Amino acid sequence: MKGLDRGTILVTGASGGIGGAIVRHLVAEGADVLASGRDGDRLAALAAETGCDTVVFDLASEESVRAAIEGRDLFGVVNCGGFGGEIATPMETDIEVFDKVITINARGALLVTKYASREMIRRGQGGVIVNVSSQASLVALRGHISYGSSKAALDNITRVSALELGPHGIRVNSVHPTVVMTPMSAWYWGRPEIEGPFLQTMPLGRWATEDEIAAPVVFLLSDGASMISGAALPIDGGFTAV
């Protein structure tokens, strides 16, 4: 896609399934990709497969984020790093888990945005940031008090960043995926009493694939989306529309 060759695109959470798929799609489109995460072995395997560059840093550490980003000629960022936390009601939630979810999903994305946008402004060529949010920020999901709250905070980071960074030619958008049925998510979403009622209310009636999340992210990074900023794009089979 046009516009993906204007500088390095940083993808956080690239050692996970969706992040890895985004890296693969971007490399296939000719982008220069910097894949980041905490699992160096998985990043090394992704680099061997795709030819991307890698960097290991901790989203919970401002110093780690700053050291990884400062001085890089970034044009794009995909904030895909995240932590699922727990399934709990407001009455049962573990506040330490809540704090960790907020720290990684919201604070971590803000830290990446803080330092990446500085480099984009330094280059003077604009830029694009795509935040991977969730359907859980758009509607109430049982058991998702921590995760949904963190993604709702990320949505505000998206909107305010679009407002503040727009004058520098930097676009900021979010995507809101439904569940991708991985082994990590199957323990909860794969339960018949959870999966059945959920899919019955979704117009498309099926879970998403990693590629179905990655493709819209790549579009938002491209020139095809050059007038889109501050938008929230559900990738949820219509679930949040009903």
Domain assignment present for residue 209? The answer is yes
Domain assignment present for residue 63? The answer is yes
> What number of other Cβ atoms are within 10 A of residue 207's Cβ?
21
CA-nearest of 204, 216, 207, 194 to 241 is 204
Position 183 scores a pLDDT of 72
Compute the Cα dihedral for 238, 86, 68, 52 and give only its sign.
negative
Domain assignment present for residue 140? The answer is yes
Q: What amino acid positions are annotated as catalytic residues?
A: 147, 151
pLDDT in tens, the chain (242 residues): 999 999 999 999 999 999 999 999 999 999 999 999 999 999 999 999 999 999 999 999 999 999 999 999 999 999 999 999 999 999 999 999 999 999 999 999 999 999 999 999 999 999 999 999 999 999 999 999 999 999 999 999 999 999 999 999 999 999 999 999 877 788 899 999 999 999 999 999 999 999 999 999 999 999 999 999 999 999 999 999 99
Q: Which domain holds residue 204?
A: 8-227
DSSP state of 54: E
Look up residue 185 and give its two tokens. 């998510």
Start-to-end CA span in the chain (Å): 32
Position 70 scores a pLDDT of 98
DSSP state of 115: H
Domain assignment present for residue 237? The answer is no
- Read off φ and ψ for residue 88, nearest 5 degrees: -160, 155
Look up residue 10 and give its two tokens. 């940083």
Domain assignment present for residue 241? The answer is no
Q: Are 69 and 127 in contact (CB under 8 A)?
A: no
Instruction: Tell me the H-state helices in 128-201.
Output: 145-165, 183-189, 192-201
| Total domains in the fold of the chain | 1
Domain assignment present for residue 235? The answer is no
Instruction: Please report, for the domain that includes residue 118, its CATH number.
Output: 3.40.50.720
Domain assignment present for residue 239? The answer is no
β-pairing, 170-177 vs 8-11, is unpaired
Domain assignment present for residue 132? The answer is yes
Position 182 scores a pLDDT of 78
Position 149 scores a pLDDT of 98
